[in-house]
Structures are given as structure tokens and as C-alpha cells.
Structure 1
Amino acid sequence: MANVLPSDLRGDFVLRRASVSGCLLPPDFRAVAQGDLAIVDIEVVSGAIRALRPSDAVEVAGDAVFDMDYGMVLPTLVDMHTHLDKGHIWQRNANPDGTFGGALAAVAEDRLAHWNAEDVRTRMEFGLRCAYAQGTSVVRTHIDSLPPQETISWPVFEEVRAEWSGRVELQGACLFGIDRLIDEPGFLDVIADRVKQAGGVLGAVTYMVPGLDGLLDRIFEAAMSRGLDLDFHVDETNDPAAKSLRHIAEAALRAKFDGKIVCGHCCSLAQQDMEEADRTLDLVASAGIGVVSLPMCNMYLQDRSPGRTPRWRGVTLLHEMKARGIPVAVASDNTRDPFYAYGDLDLIEVYAQATRILHLDHPVGDWISAVSTAPAGMLGVPAPSISDGAAANLILFRGRNWSELLSRPSAPRDVIRDGFTLNDRVPDYRELDHLMTGNGAVL
């Protein structure tokens, strides 16, 4: 029996003494536990999990039996909020001051100058290669959809989605500021039809604009008439007067909307007094809205002012939401662009940082669901699992517990897809050098 992490699995094998979070196992499965982790044997045949056994069962011998020595195993993960079309433009158009306003201006300038089909496709595929190599199997990307960009980026998205089918399940949600519907009301039908044609999700950035309720009603109506789900960017500010999350929940209840609704960011909620926040959370729970927090990007952007130390972490009330039964998740958001200068679409890094920023520990409990089963439910895709009959889509680590894993999130891992070791590695940034003409950022 091998005593090292396997590096060349070929469809049929047994992983002996693997540590797996109980929330990722079948609810009736019982195994020897170390803390909140179950110790299991995972038998894979023809690329699927044939049997899951407690490691105190009869030991199995053979050349294809590998002793994990309590190393952790996760299923592949779900990144439900990304921006593949913006990714990796930092070197040619950096954020001049790290602020939200600086990010908006830099992206607008870069979009106008560079975002043709080749540029968008190259950067989207680079991002997907990063995510895939690190163990992500589902990605939702928001797509900047201001005219004329929607005529460029949506066809590219459809082509890339088809090319990546079977490796990463790719979803797309449109992105535009809701205030555009004030001066250009006809735009909503145009973009909603485009999203419907592409099999996407309708979305917008919401903030406190005149006539917000009426604009939201129109978006819900457009989604319902086309059978579309909704995904909003919401209240990404530290201004406690920003309360569009509450307005979205009220609009959903007025419309009796029965599709899926996701709200991302919701930062201002944490700046409101708890009585006000409680009223909003009650509405969000009643409306069946799921919330995704983007801890790395929002800690980077929120409360930033030159020469002043930030006073808060920029994240929303995830613990309070989860306690109410509201589905919650964390995700990558932006990657090496003016909204976030860093990141690699690595959900292990995201989860490690979320644990620190949002205090997803003491106890760890089932918080790993925030990058696995919970976002899968919000996106309407099968939940990743380690169970009999499931495809052997796994991530294998040497770390034996949460402390070891989250202390070294960049440590070597093996990604297994359909029972075979994935040999793909994250791409070299030099592959993008031919696109990097711009303001010369070197961060």
C-alpha cells in the first residue's frame, strides 16, 4: 500500500484513511471521526465512486491502494461569482488609487480600448485554466453588457462554454447599472432577449436610484416572461443608506417570483443598525434569496482612503443570514483587474481567506459548504459530493485537518477528474504578455 499522495491515478483505485468533512458525505454515513472530519476509504472504479467505507472496516490491499495518512479530500468546488471578462488586465490598466471609483474608471477605459473578441476570449480561457487546474468544476461569470460590448462578449462566452463543456460547467450573468434603464428603458428587453438566447442569467448592479422599485419590477417581469433566473450586484458600499437588498426582496415577494435569485456583496448591510438589518434579513429569507459574499475583493476595496487605515472588513452579515436559513456562499469575484489586484480563481485560497475575514471557524462546522454544496444549490447544478455513485471528481491534500490545510492553501494538491489525475497546471502569466499594452502597472 503506497504511503505517498498518489500522482497518477487512472480510474480504478482506493484511497485509504482519507479525512472528509462530514457535511460532504451522505447524511446517514457513519465513520470514525477526528474532530469534525470523518476518516473514510474511497473506492473508485471506472472513474466513479463505487464504495465509501469507514476506515475501521476491513483493510484492502493492492497496488492501487493508496494510504492518504489522514490527508484531506474534497470534491471539486463551485465558484459562483467571477468576472472572467475583466480578469488579468491589471498590467495594462491598473487602478490608480485602489478605490471603487478608480476601478470603475480603469475598467471603462480598458473596455473601450481593448475588449475585442480575441482579447476577451484569451483572458476568459486563461482564467478558466487557472480554476480548472486548482479543482473548480463550476463557474458563473458576470459579463459586462453595456452596448456595444454585449455583442462581443456574449458570443465569446457561448463559444468558450461549449469548448469547456465536460471540464468546467460555465454559466453567464449579464451586468449593467440599473440606472441605465432610466434613460434607456428599451435596453432591458434587448439584453434580456440576448441573455435568453445564450441560456444565461439576468442581472444588474443595484443601488439607490430614483424609481428603484419600478425598475426592479421591470427586471423581475422581464425575467419571469423569459424563464430567467436573477443575479444582482447589491449595495457594494459602506454607506448605510444603501438598502437595495431590501428593495430586491420586496420586489421578489410582489412578483411572486419562483426562479432563483442571488444577491452578491450586500456590504452596506453590515453598516446598518441591527434592527434595520434584521428587517431586511427577514424579507430576504421570505423571498428565498441566496447571498454570496466576496471577502477578498471587498476587503481590498471597501473603506479605502489614501493615508487612512480601513476600519471594517467590507463583508456582509453571513453568519446572521445562515442562522436564518438563507443560503450563503463565498466566491472569487475579480482577478488581477482594477477591482482586485490579486487572486487566481483558487477556491481554496478564497475559503482560507474567508475563514480569517468572516470568522468561519471555532467551530469550522459545515462552512466548506460555502464553496461547494451551497453555491451549487443557488446555481441549480448538482451538488459536489463524495458518495456512492458520484463521479470521482476530487481534490487531494497532504494537510490532515483544517488548520494544516488552511495554513498552507497554496501547498501541492492533486486534482482528480472522473478518476484520473489531472496533469493541467496553472498557466504562466507570460502567455498574456502580448495583450499587455497600457499604463504599465507592475504590481
Structure 2
Amino acid sequence: MIFAANHYWIRNAHVPACLLVGEELWTTQKASDQLLNVDLEIVEGVIAAIVPTGTQSNAGVASIDLQGGMVWACFVDLHTHLDKGHIWNRAANPDGTFESALATVRADSEKNWDAEDVYRRMEFGLKCSYAHGTKAIRTHLDSAGKQGTISFEVFRELRQKWADRIILQGVCLVSLDYFLTPEGEKLADLVAESAGVLGGVTFINPEIDQQIDGVFSLAKERNLNLDFHADENDDPNSDTLRRVAEAAIRHEYQGKVVCGHCCSLAVQEDTEADRTIALVKEAGIGIVSLPMCNLYLQGRRPGKTPRWRGVTLLHELKQAEVPVAIASDNCRDPFHAYGDHDALEVFSQSVKIAQLDHPFGNWAKAITSTPADLMNLPKVGRIGVGLPTDLVLFKGRNYRELLSRSQHDRIVLRNGKAIDTTLPSYTELDNLLENRISST
């Protein structure tokens, strides 16, 4: 197979211009949907050259003609919950609401989330992500009480085991009031010892500003980055995103801050939303939207048609030059009954949910280089000479072809070699799930 060779060309490929390092060099090429028609030379697993298609001879060197198929950098999934994943068969959400999801996960974790259970489900998610073409993942980990110790130990083990395939980052997940207790300080120490990210859920309450300040202080003392779940609701009075931005400015915080969900921003008055976006920009905060999960949960009322999509103001944030990413969030658990850790599906559904087309522009960065930057991975999620050949090759020749089929026949290259893209069978978890169900 050509991808086993040490030197070969990928010819006649369409690459999103926004994913190319040094894309300004390509401004002379007229590009529909900002897709560039290029040939890529691969030598010893590294991209050695990128040239306009047909402009450089590759005589005597193996090559493959993609016939105009698209080539992307490997994906970066900034916001996941690998520790919750794939419990639906034993812990289904009875009505699909957010409140039921919280209660169902809490009950399941208390009964079942020992190290073996968390390890097997997390690794199943990693297998899916890798086969689909993801190179880096940030996962939130429920961390209150003993669960933090269990899950971070599993996380560290999996991070080491998968280090040659997936870059894995871990974020603790508790409500922010937890950090005002001695247990919260111990958790911050555990996160620091695990080279993780400090995180939590922001809920409007009388002490919310004190809680946010406490988290920033703990992060500064331990030199940790921050990642918040913010305003995952449709209440226009839920303004914790603004409060996080004000705290970042007030603390003169120099680390990376990411806020996920931020749904309520979309139901606030324009003047209020604009004020918050300006503060987010000033604070240097990145936003990650989870369109698939929020579409599933938000606005759900039994017997009623949902009236809104649950996504934040992606276009307005992007126009304000706020870094905007999209990500998987939950997979096959009470917060989202579906999903397969496939970042292409995330992009495809996000395009349709949030209308990220007309034009597509540089939205491809939202699942590649933008989340990579927010994870401090400057060489991931982009295509350039001298970078590893970590690419995903599709038969779809443009966005409309790409997003009209599943692209299940994609080719994933890591260091120039094609990997096995066979997805793990759900039967891998049957024994685990059956044992847990029978023992409860």
C-alpha cells in the first residue's frame, strides 16, 4: 500500500486554506469555498512540500490521486466527558431532560464508577476517537469526593498508555462551591499533580462571584489553566460567562481560560450579549460550543416541540475575534443518548444546527487548530511543511459532498502511515454493563 512507503505524493487534494500553515502564500489561487487544490509530498512521515496540483513532477515516486477529495488535519476535541460515556444501556435518561441527566449520572456513579468501570469506558471512547481521526482530546472528569482520586488515576494511566496516539488533557468537574472547602483545595492539588486543568460548573447563586474568585486564586497559586461549564440553560439572567470574564480581568490572569456551552448568551438582549462578548474578548477567553448535546437537552419539554437550538452566539463571538471551537461533549450517556466520538459528525451537525455555511469560511478551524491553540498545542490541527503527516483523507471533494455522507471510508494517516480505522464493537462493554446491572 502506498501509505507504507517512506516517500510518496498525495496528489489532487482539496485542503481548507485555513488549515494550511502559511496560508497567505496561497492567496493567488482562486479557491471555491476557500479550498485549495494541492499536491503534498510526504517523506519519512513528515510533510516535505505542498504545491499547487500539477505544478511539480513526481516521476519515479509513488503517488495516490485523490481525485479532488478533501484532506484535513487530524481533529482536536476540546470538550468531552469520557468518564461518563457509554453508560446509557444501564443508566438511560427517562425523559431526556437536563435534571434527569444529572440525577441518573449521580446514581450510576455512586453504584458503578470504580477504576475498572471508568477505565474501560474511557478507553472505548479513545478507541473511537482515534479511529475517526482525532489527535487530541480534553476530557472533563467528575471529581467530587473519592471519585476525583479514582478518575484522575485512571486518566493518568490512559494518558501514558495512549501518548503515542492521542494527546489527552484532564479537567476536574465539580460545582464551584466545592473549591471553597478543604476538599476543594485538595482537588486543586490533585489536578496540579496530574498536570491537569482546573475546572467546574458555574451556577447562579448569591456566592457565585466569591466562588469564581476562589477558583482563579487556586489556579494562579498552582499555575493551572481554567475550563468552566457556563450558563448551560435558557435563562437570560444566567450571566456567569460575564462574571468569569470580569474575574479574569480583575485577577490579571495569564493562563488559558475556556468556557463551554454559554447557551444563555443566545437568549439575552443584544446590548447585554454584546457587553459580555466584549469582556470575553478583553479577557482572552476561548469559547467551546457543544451543538449536538445542547440540541438534545435544551428546550426539552415532554410532549412539546423545542423552540430553540441551544447553541451560543457562535457567529457573533467569532466576528468579535473570540476563539470559537466546537466539540463532542457527551456520548451515549444520560446527557446525550447518541454520538460516536467522531469530530467530523460534530462539524457536520454544527454546520446544520448553527448555519456555519454561506460561506464556510474558516469554520474548519473550530474542530482543529482553534481548539489546539486553546490546549496549547501549536503544531496540532494544521497542515504545513515540516509538520507530521497527521491527516484525514476523504472522498468528498467539497463541503457539500463531505457533509452529505458519513465518510465512513475515510483514510486516517498518522506520521504518514494509514491506521486501522475499524471502530471498537459495542460488545466490548457488554460484559461490564451486564455485570454492573446484575450487581445493583
TM-score band by shorter chain is over 0.9
Runs of 4+ in 1 over 3 A off after TM superposition: 6-11, 31-34, 437-440
Give the 5 Å matches for 1:212-227.
Answer: 212-227=208-223
Alignment check: 8 A CA contact 2:2 2:64 kept? no
- 390, 394, 401: which one aligns with 1:397: 394
Looking at structure 1, the residues matched to 24 and 353 of structure 2 have their Cα atoms a distance apart, in angstroms, of: 32
Equivalence for 1:284: 280
Give the 5 Å matches for 1:20-35.
Answer: 20-25=15-20, 26-30=22-26, 32-35=29-32
Alignment check: 8 A CA contact 2:117 2:432 kept? yes
SS in 2 for 1:80: strand
Q: Which amino acid aligns with 2:6?
A: G
Equivalence for 1:293: 289
Residue 34 of structure 1: how far off its partner (Å): 4.2
Give the 5 Å matches for 1:127-276.
Answer: 127-181=125-179, 185-276=181-272
Looking at structure 1, the residues matched to 342 and 178 of structure 2 have their Cα atoms a distance apart, in angstroms, of: 33
Looking at structure 1, the residues matched to 136 and 84 of structure 2 have their Cα atoms a distance apart, in angstroms, of: 18
Residue 148 of structure 1: how far off its partner (Å): 1.2
Looking at structure 2, the residues matched to 246 and 405 of structure 1 have their Cα atoms a distance apart, in angstroms, of: 37
Q: Which amino acid aligns with 1:177?
A: S
SS in 2 for 1:237: coil
Question: Can you list the C-alpha shifts for 1:194-219, whole angstroms capped at 9, x where unaligned?
Answer: 00000000001001012111111111
For structure 2, which runs of at least 5 residues remain unmatched after alignment? none
- 318, 322, 328: which one aligns with 2:324: 328
Looking at structure 2, the residues matched to 61 and 83 of structure 1 have their Cα atoms a distance apart, in angstroms, of: 48
Identical-pair percentage = 50
Question: Can you list the C-alpha shifts for 1:144-201, whole angstroms capped at 9, x where unaligned?
Answer: 00111011111110000000002100000000012334xx622221110000000000
Looking at structure 1, the residues matched to 99 and 308 of structure 2 have their Cα atoms a distance apart, in angstroms, of: 18
- 349, 372, 378: which one aligns with 1:376: 372
Alignment check: 8 A CA contact 1:94 1:439 kept? no
SS in 2 for 1:340: coil
Equivalence for 1:96: 94
Alignment check: 8 A CA contact 2:396 2:407 kept? no
Alignment check: 8 A CA contact 1:395 1:414 kept? yes
Alignment check: 8 A CA contact 1:32 1:55 kept? no
Alignment check: 8 A CA contact 1:77 1:347 kept? yes
Looking at structure 2, the residues matched to 75 and 10 of structure 1 have their Cα atoms a distance apart, in angstroms, of: 20
Give the 5 Å matches for 1:301-340.
Answer: 301-340=297-336
Alignment check: 8 A CA contact 1:91 1:439 kept? no
Looking at structure 1, the residues matched to 19 and 92 of structure 2 have their Cα atoms a distance apart, in angstroms, of: 40
Q: Which amino acid aligns with 1:152?
A: I
- 409, 423, 437: which one aligns with 2:406: 409
Residue 59 of structure 1: how far off its partner (Å): 3.5
Residue 60 of structure 1: how far off its partner (Å): 2.1
Q: Which amino acid aligns with 1:163?
A: K
Residue 13 of structure 1: how far off its partner (Å): 1.1
Q: Which range is displaced more, 56-65 or 241-250? A: 56-65
Alignment check: 8 A CA contact 1:394 1:415 kept? yes
- 326, 338, 344: which one aligns with 1:342: 338
2:382 is the alignment partner of 1:385: yes
CA RMSD in angstroms comes to: 1.4
Give the 5 Å matches for 1:64-79.
Answer: 64-79=62-77
**Distance change >3 Å, CA 218–CA 316, structure 1 → 2:** same
SS in 1 for 2:281: helix
Q: Which amino acid aligns with 2:424?
A: P
Q: How many residues align?
A: 433
Alignment check: 8 A CA contact 1:173 1:231 kept? yes
For structure 1, which runs of at least 5 residues remain unmatched after alignment? 1-5
Equivalence for 2:428: 431
SS in 1 for 2:123: helix
Looking at structure 1, the residues matched to 322 and 345 of structure 2 have their Cα atoms a distance apart, in angstroms, of: 24
Q: Which amino acid aligns with 2:14?
A: S
Residue 435 of structure 1: how far off its partner (Å): 1.6
2:108 is the alignment partner of 1:113: no
**Distance change >3 Å, CA 70–CA 9, structure 1 → 2:** farther
Equivalence for 1:3: none
